[in-house]
Structure 1
Amino acid sequence: MEKAHILIVDDELGPRESLRMILKDHFPLLFATNGKEAVEKVLSDSADLVIMDMKMPVMDGMEALRRMKEHNPLLPVIMVTGYGTIDTAVEAMKVGAFDYITKPFDSFALLEKVKKALEQGKTDPDSQRMLHQIQETSNRLAEQQENLQKQIVQLSKLSTIGMLAQGMAHNLSSPLLIILGRAELMKDKLLQMRSKIQSLSGNQSPEARAQTLALLQEYDQNLRDTDIIIENVAKLSDIIRNVMQKSRQDQIDYHQSLNLSTILREELQFMEGDLFFKHNVEKDYDLQEDLPPVRGIYSDFSQTFLNLIQNAIDAMRESQTRKLSVKSRLNGDWIEIKVRDTGCGIPMENLERIFEPYFTTKKAQEDSGKPVGTGLGLHMVKMLMEPYRAQIQVQSRPGDTCFTLKVPCGNG
């Protein structure tokens, strides 16, 4: 049987030589002069046991021990310490060290501890496989926890942005009303002055009448400019009113009677804030206005619709043809919502996984700077709709993906 390889780690030549003299006739030996170098050797799986000093430059023994245990929790490590630092060695054992030895070395005691450490380090294949599975599960849980924390932070940011947006919208409303009022007053005065000038033109000479006509044309241009101001201020007021209404509705956490077509239209208007969607995507909306009401929480449906629409938009960012079709209709006892896009499509092998948490096909776009998914958008759709006994169907091929959400009637 091949002998175990022992890694001796110490920055001082004296202790390294002492350990070499004790162990050289019994085991193949490896050497490192600091914790960083030792960790690199352990990562290459070249050591079966480590004897390591506590105090070293570059990386001390405690930090090196932690990293070794992260790589291989079963690797036996014996710490070397002086009599005055035994407490530190005990702390190392809490981290995962097998035991410790003190300077100067007792040859017999050292060999006994090495023997026991190697015996404990031997595990059967089933135990090793189980340990490997535990490590993989732990890594997955850690990754999911990190993703969840990122999502919580993102939701917190969105909540803060929502409150700020509502406050900004409220603060903008008053100045806009003043601008609108002044513009309408200016238009009235321009009309009155134009009417007076026009009434005087009948008794004027041809030369004066020509000047009056030029002045009237200038008034007409000013009136058109005023109409443009009034029209755009009115549009901006509508946008602000929609933002404030959406923000208030999203904060309501009780059930109410909802028209799903109305919520869909609000979310589509809200998405006009995405300049890519506003200017680069063709829209086709067919929303049935007289849908029967659904009893539910507004934010459950608004977030669901927003996620489906955003998912469709992201799928079309690299497509040459970009068209979003959104339809709602009553079909028997179900309200059907269809969101169709002309994006890249979903591979057949991924269709069954798209509603799993943290599963995303958008990571490949990270290098290009395009949106990177968290893998929670469609999972959230599924979770939000489950209490309503809703069904979600997906059909996809390159250039044509359709999500169909079916919500049962009769609970409005």
Structure 2
Amino acid sequence: MSKTTMLPDAARTAPVNALPRRKPVLLIVDDEEGPRQSLQVIFKDEFEVLLAPDGPTAVALAQQHPVDVAITDIRMAGMSGIEVLERLKYVNPGIEVVMITAYETTETLRQALRLQACDYINKPFDVATIRAAVQRALQRHTLESELRSNTEHLEALRAELQNQRIAEQIAQTRGEIYASIIHDINGPLTVISGFLQLLNQRLSQAQRLEAEDLEFLRERLRVITRQVTNCIEISRRYLSYLRRSGEDALSGHVDQLLGDLAQLVRVHPSSQRHEFVLQNVNEPVAVRTNGTDFIQVLLNLIVNAFQCSPHPHRVEVRGEVLSRPLDLSQFKDTPQTRFVNMESFDNTPPLLAMQVRDNGPGMTPDILSRIFDPWFTTKERHQGTGLGLNIVQRLVRAARGVVHVHSVPGRGTTFTVYFPAVRLPTGEGNRG
């Protein structure tokens, strides 16, 4: 016959997964047996008590256990109580320490306060005094732990919000790129539609085709064929942007991407009144990243260059293929120079160096040191999010590239982005 065990009412109604609350841990450090045992008797019911006869043992116990509060005598053989306090704070700054001594001096009190001791008690003391001191230390430890936890939670939420905002900004810019490409298809389609109408009109009016009619048809059909080819190339490139991502992504021919970039810049509001020059690479090369990311990096840098000053100025973009790795020993931050993403840079040639240069006002060292920080902007309120260059940093890091910035006040700014690249076979220059 099985035996049935009856549980108390409180146990039967308690949640199944409820865990007993951890007892706070109290570390008692004293080189005399009597005081150690006395303090253990006082606190054994409320705390998990750890005993240490000397400083090294106390430090070792703090490294092995989640100590909340420590009581330590100041005068001990070997490591003093002040040294124990310092070492415990090094192991865990959250440990609250109550100092006890029979030989108080101004110097030891000053040192204890400097090292953030929670309390300082003179011997002899009564039970009520030591209990009150330890209780204050435990409350302080609990409050600071909660504050630290809430701060970490707040920072995590802030980081999550920041990442979400940046992701939205990236998605918005990509949407603009895709919309531009689709807009480009409308041009050839309009030409095709118009020429087809002309052909239909000519054919519907002709009873028979003369030599002049045939030449008219041939010429219009050649134009239609070219425009259809343009549509195919644009749509192929657009679809490849959507498909390619991750380590296997390849941008497609860089000069073709620069052509798309030029059209985006031409209609961008920031380009008005400024001079813009874009030079093709003129070498069949692709970069190891998604094509939209490549365009977005350059577009953000160009817009940033346009917006560096309201006065008309020149912004120039040029690219160069490098057959040798960069000499990273030359990559050093100075008051006028910054290098970003060095830790993730793939310095394997060939490399594509894309340079965005302006002859605007340049940046002071203080501004240069902060330009890649999220939300940092020198623009007027509501005129910039401060995310553009942070997005550049993220996209270049994902491409395993590196960014070099050189800026001199009064002499303009140059951004150079180095992308890992791939040379394409000759003849792929017009392929998406």
TM-score (norm 2): 0.44
What TM-score comes out, normalization by structure 1 length?
A: 0.46
RCO (CA 8 Å, sep 6+): is it higher in 1 or 2?
A: 2
